[in-house]
Amino acid sequence: MTVYTNVRGLARGLQVLRALNAMEGGRATSQQIADATGLHRTTVRRLLETLVEEGYVWRSSSDESFRLMLAVRGLSDGFTDAERIATVAPPIMGRLLQRVTWPSDLATPDGDAMIIRETTHRFSPLSFHRAMVGRRLPMLLTAAGRAYFAMCGEAEQEQVLELLRSGTGGEQQQAMAKNDALVRALIKRVREDGYGSNYGDWTAQAKIGALAVPVRAGGSVRGSLNVIFLNRAISHKEAELKFLPELKQAAEQISAAMQEGN
C-alpha cells in the first residue's frame, strides 16, 4: 500500500485526455467530455484550459471545441517496443509456466546480447536462478539470442557480428562471429526449424538447455521467448515435443497483445 495520497487533479486530467482521445477525430466540446467522464462541466473546462496552456490540447475559436495536439504523441516516445512487450507478456508467461513448469524468459536485443525483460524463474519450482530480469544473454550461444539473431534483418545481423568480432561478447562468441560459414549455418538452421536451441553450448552454463522462439510484431521480430531446463533432466527430443508447441502459442499470444496495443 502506498503512503502517498492520490493527486485528484492529475487523475482527472488524464481522464479528460483519455475521453478526448476516444472521441471521433480526437475532437469534442467540454460538454461532450463532461458527459463521457461524469465530471462537472466546469471542472472539465478548467482541466481543458490547463491542457491548452501546456500545449497538449488546442481550442477552436469558431465552435469552442477542443482537440488533441501533436505534443500528446511525445508522451509515448519513451515507451519503446521493449517496454510494451514486457508489459503484455507476464500473464501469458504465467499461463505458459502452468503448462510447462520449467521457467521462461522474455528477452529483447541490447547491442551484442539479449537482455531479459520478464521471467517466470521466481515462480517456477524448477528454477535454479531467481534474479533474472536485467541479465544479459550471449547472442550466438543461447537459444534466446539465436532465435532473435537468425530472424532479424541482415543489417542488424551485421551490426551484432561487428560488435562480437571486436571481442565485446567474449572469446567464444568472437571466434564464432569471425567464422562466416558457422554463422550462415546457424542462421539457416534456426530459420528452417523456426526456433533457436542451446544444449550446453554456452560454456558458462554448460548444464543448461533451452529452446526459444521469436516474438514478432508489426511484421518484424521484437524479441524471443524461451524455456530453460537442465540437460540431465530432460532429453533434447522430449524438450522439443513438450515445449515447442507451448512456446509458439505463447509467442503468438504476445504478438497479438502487442498488436492490440497499437
What mean pLDDT is predicted for residues 89-107?
Answer: 95
List pLDDT tens digits, range 53-71.
Answer: 998 898 887 678 898 886 7
Domains (ranges, CATH) in the chain? Answer: 8-74 (1.10.10.10), 81-260 (3.30.450.40)
Q: What gap in Å lies between CA 245 and CA 238, rounded to an integer?
A: 12
List pLDDT tens digits, range 126-171.
Answer: 987 767 888 999 999 999 999 999 999 999 999 999 999 999 999 9
Give the Å distances, CA to CA, from 51 to 17, 60, 61, 66. Answer: 9, 14, 16, 10
Spatial CA neighbour of 223 closest among 260, 250, 186, 199: 250
Q: Which pTM was predicted?
A: 0.71
Spatial CA neighbour of 82 closest among 221, 232, 240: 221
Of the CA atoms within 13 Å of residue 26, those in its CB half-sphere come to 13
What is the length of the chain? 262
Q: What gap in Å lies between CA 106 and CA 163, rounded to an integer?
A: 23
Q: Listing from the earlier edge strand, what are the strands of the sheet with 65-68?
A: 27-29, 65-68, 57-59
List pLDDT tens digits, range 189-240.
Answer: 999 999 999 998 888 888 999 999 999 988 889 999 999 999 999 999 999 9
